[in-house]
């Protein structure tokens, strides 16, 4: 999957070394554009998003959006790439000691939603996927790779795909009710209570007796 | 909440008795319009939906859409009203013997998603709420009333609101992963397996020991 962040591909080679500001600034600007793009895709959809509108929200020259992301499709694909920190923390929790893994995974999911940058990414993916088939396809592919695969690969029984998928069903519902819809007691309780109530469910799905 | 289905309000009284087809036909036509409206709101959003487009999809005269629902807001509100059958079956499951209530509730949710008309309603509400604040507000209000209130009212301990909300978090995640995103093993397994795996979680949330 392309990150859409390469800046020089396809440009005449004599420009490759042309300075366009310190490397750090480039990363900062590209990230500012991505933040604005995620908000726009979530709110207005793919059809309603324009490179010019994203540039305005990000407070950058529209030419820079073209320069970094080339097309609206390039911008969408880059906006849907999970932050490295999020996938790394998920992989770490998925590999934690199995007896504490339920709590570790809930803490990681809750932590992601309580980090504004990751929350904005997750929220944007969920809302954009509701009305853009391309975004839904990305969500499903990334979900299978970074959530289901990460969790099932550290289980060793025949039910590991079922276990990972059951785990994900509880985590997604936690995300929707607490963070996206903000409905009911789960939207009001402390993070510690979320971990306390949900971890036993995740733990059973991971290594408990399945079925009734 | 208005069902948006009253047909004669606001029309000159001399028209109130004017025959416009048998009563059954009216219900059938209104329902056909609502099915088309739900699909349009889910796909195109509120802004992208037109009464004329809905009429075309429903294969009815645009004047009938105006006649039954008056405005686009009226049409949206009517499209977001849960089918009576769905709320009744949920209330029934919520009142079933407490020891079997986990399985009864999972069966009811799965049954709703496997009934095409109810599934189309639920799907439309979830997708429309992703990009329309009015639809999100309806979803949250209806969810609190028909899901959380129905379930908590048949529990009698101090944790009943927490219990109902935890239950809902699992049910919503089941809906999203299995029916909306269709991702992972949970999207492939039989309904019986869903009940078998998820019912113990719901049962614990309803009357088991909360917390770890």
Percent of chain A's residues with pLDDT above 70 = 88
B24 and B92 both lie in a single domain:
no
Instruction: Say yes or no to pLDDT of A10 above 90.
Output: no
- Claim to verify: residue B53 and residue B117 sit in the same structural domain: no
CATH number for the domain harbouring residue A159:
1.10.357.10
Chain centroid to CA A57: how far? 21
| Backbone φ, ψ for residue B10 (5° rounding) | 80, 0
Least confident window among A190-204, B39-53, B94-108, B187-201 = B39-53
Residue A27 has pLDDT above 70, yes or no: yes
Q: Residue B3 falls within a domain, yes or no?
A: no
Same domain, residue pair B179 and B102? yes
Closest CA relative to residue B42, chosen from B141, B132, B174, B140: B132
Residues B145 and B108 in one domain: yes
Same domain, A74 and A139: no
Residue B157: left if φ>0, alpha if ψ -120 to 50, beta else—which one?
Answer: beta
State the total domains in chain A: 2
Tokens at A87, concatenated? 């996938």
Structural domain for B18, as ranges: 13-79
Q: pLDDT: is B24 or A162 the higher one?
A: A162
B167 and B108 fall within a common domain: yes
User: How many angstroms from the chain centroid is the CA of residue A83?
Assistant: 6
Note whether residue B173 is domain-resident. yes
Higher pLDDT: B14 or A32? It is: A32
Asked, for residue A2, whether it belongs to a domain, the answer is no
Same domain, B18 and B59: yes
Q: Does residue B211 sit at the A interface (CB-CB below 8 Å)?
A: yes
Residues B152 and B189 both lie in one domain: yes
Domain-located, residue B59: yes
Copy the structure tokens of residue A72. Answer: 């609206």
Separation between Cα atoms, residue A175 and residue B27, nearest integer Å: 38
Q: Does one domain contain both A98 and A200?
A: yes
pLDDT at residue B156 is higher than 70: yes
Contact A174 B173 (CB under 8 A): yes
**Residue B70 and residue B90 share a domain:** no
Q: Where a domain ends, among B44, B62, B79?
A: B79
Final residue belonging to a domain, choices B79, B94, B114: B79
CB contact under 8 Å between B127 and A130, yes or no, is yes
- Last residue of one domain, picked from the residues A32, A50, A79: A79
Question: What is the arithmetic mean of pLDDT over A97-109?
Answer: 97
- Residue to mutate among A173, A178, A188, A202, with most B CBs inside 10 A, is A173
Q: What's the confidence (pLDDT) of residue A103?
A: 98
Residue A139 near residue B181, CB atoms below 8 Å: yes
Would you tell me which residues 110-139 of chain B have a C-beta closer than 8 angstroms to some C-beta of chain A? 126-127, 129-131, 136, 139
Cα dihedral B57/B61/B66/B72 (nearest 10): 20
Does the ipTM exceed 0.90?
no
Token reading at A96: 């934690």
Q: Whole-model pTM? A: 0.86
Interface of A with B in 11-70 (CB under 8 A): 42-43, 45, 48
Q: Mean pLDDT of all residues in chain A?
A: 88
Do B205 and B161 meet the contact criterion of CB atoms below 8 Å apart? no
C-beta separation of A39 from A79 below 8 A? no
Could you report the per-residue pLDDT of B98-121, keeping only the tens digit for each?
A: 999 999 999 999 999 999 989 999
Query: Is there a single domain that holds both residue A96 and residue A194?
Result: yes
Residue A132 corresponds to which tokens in the numbers above? Answer: 């853009």
Residue with the two structure tokens 């009226």? B74
How far, in Å, CA of A164 to CA of B120, rounded?
27
Residue reference for tokens 């950058």: A60
Distance from CA of B123 to the nearest CA of A (A): 10
- For residue A212, the model assigns a pLDDT of 65
| CATH code, domain carrying A59 | 1.10.10.60
Q: What is the DSSP letter of A189?
A: S
- Cα gap A41→A48, rounded to integer Å: 8
Considering CB atoms only, which of B126, B169, B176 is closest to A186? B169
* Residue of B209, B109, B197, B195 lying closest to B151 (CA atoms): B109
Residue B6 lies inside a defined structural domain of this protein: no
- Structure confidence at residue A139 (pLDDT): 95
| pLDDT of B3 over the 60 cut | no
Structure tokens given for B69: 């629902």
According to the model, what pLDDT value does residue A75 have? 96
- Condensed to tens digits (0 to 9), the pLDDT of residues A115-159 reads 998 999 999 999 999 988 889 999 999 999 999 999 999 999 999
Domain contains B2: no
Rounded to 5 degrees, what are φ and ψ at B166? -60, -45
The span from the CA of A104 to the CA of A91, in Å, is 11
**Whether residue B73 is found in the same domain as residue B178:** no
| A212 within a domain of the structure (yes/no) | no
**Which of A1-15, A27-41, A65-79, B23-37 has the least mean pLDDT?**
A1-15
Cβ-contact B114, B79 below 8 angstroms? no
């Amino acid at each position: 999957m392309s990150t859409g962040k390469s800046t020089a591909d396809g440009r005449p080679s004599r420009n490759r070394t042309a300075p366009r500001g310190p490397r750090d600034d480039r990363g900062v600007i590209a990230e500012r554009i991505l933040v604005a793009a995620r908000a726009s895709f979530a709110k207005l959809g793919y059809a309603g998003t324009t490179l010019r509108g994203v540039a305005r929200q990000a407070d950058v020259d529209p030419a820079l959006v073209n320069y970094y992301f080339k097309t609206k499709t390039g911008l969408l694909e880059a906006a849907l790439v999970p932050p490295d920190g999020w996938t790394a923390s998920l992989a770490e929790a998925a590999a934690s000691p199995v007896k504490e893994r339920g709590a570790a995974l809930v803490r990681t999911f809750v932590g992601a939603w309580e980090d504004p940058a990751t929350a904005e990414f997750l929220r944007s993916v969920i809302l954009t996927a509701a009305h853009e088939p391309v975004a839904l396809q990305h969500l499903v592919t990334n979900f299978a790779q970074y959530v289901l695969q990460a969790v099932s690969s550290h289980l060793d029984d025949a039910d590991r795909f079922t276990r990972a998928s059951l785990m994900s069903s509880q985590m997604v519902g936690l995300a929707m009710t607490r963070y996206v819809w903000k409905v009911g007691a789960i939207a009001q309780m402390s993070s510690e209570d979320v971990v306390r109530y949900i971890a036993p469910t995740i733990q059973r799905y991971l290594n408990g007796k399945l079925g009734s």
